[in-house]
Amino acid sequence: MTTKPRSGINVERQPTQARLNELGVFGWSIWTKEVSEFPWTYDVEETCYFLEGDVVVTPDGGEPVEIGKGDLVTFPAGMSCTWKIRRDVKKHYSFG
């Protein structure tokens, strides 16, 4: 199931192994971060696949989006937001 809130954040819940392989997700770099809260701005589009974690991303002026383990997420270029990490994150990511 894919949801694309008005925030512009695209979330694919539990994508298939075939979909992940098609994108080459497991060849992407890995980013980890502990429980924290911080502002972020995306200079370019980022696609990531969450291996671990529980996060709420709130775009400036937008609605919060909950993201967690097993989600494939695309953040649009130019979006400013606040990340609130509720459980440590480990994710594969790719820019552009």
> Where residue 6 falls among pLDDT bands split at 50, 70, 90?
low
Query: What pLDDT sits at residue 82?
Result: 98
pLDDT at 41 over 60: yes
Which domain, by its residues, includes 58?
Answer: 2-95
Q: Which helix (H) or strand (E) holds 20?
A: helix 17-23
The beta-strand segments (E) located in the chain are 2-3, 10-13, 29-33, 36-41, 46-59, 65-68, 71-75, 80-95
Number of domains forming the structure of the chain: 1
CATH number at residue 55: 2.60.120.10
Q: What is the pLDDT of residue 75?
A: 97
Average pLDDT over residues 65-76: 97
The pLDDT of residue 1 is above 70? no
Q: Are 26 and 20 in contact (CB under 8 A)?
A: yes
